[in-house]
Amino acid sequence: MAVADLIHVTDNDFAQEIEQHQGVAMVDFWATWCGPCQMVAPIVQQIAKEYDGKVKVAKLDVDENQHVTMRFNVRSIPSILFFKDGKHVETVVGAVPKAYLVEKLARHLP
């Protein structure tokens, strides 16, 4: 299920899709029951479209993927984690405006 360049990752393919990705990746840790997650979802989709080809944008359901969630110590959702060349470089917790996420992305783009 992909929208533009938005992909859904799981415990099984997280390493391959995100940690082996060369470049910048942004992963939205979310859950279906989380209200603030639903507020951030359209922003994440817009960023996926606008940065198609420049940033890999992914979503990870924390209820279905506990291993990766615990590995990155995600305790509050939504949490948006930024990766550069497979390394975790930054985390944003909570429903934040699009401009805030774009600013964070800009720090890691060439």
In tens digits, the chain (110 residues) has pLDDT values of 344 569 999 999 999 999 999 999 999 999 999 999 999 999 999 999 999 999 999 999 999 999 999 999 999 999 999 999 999 999 999 999 999 999 999 999 98
Taking Cα atoms as reference points, which of 68, 71, 100, 82 lies closest to residue 28? 82
For residue 14, what are the contacts with CB-CB under 8 A and spacing of at least 6?
60, 65, 68
Domain annotation for the chain: domains and CATH numbers: 6-108 (3.40.30.10)
Which residues are annotated as catalytic?
34, 37
CB atoms within 10 A of CB 47: 22
Report whether 25 contacts 83 (CB < 8 A). Answer: yes
Distance between CA 73 and CA 45 in Å, rounded?
Answer: 24
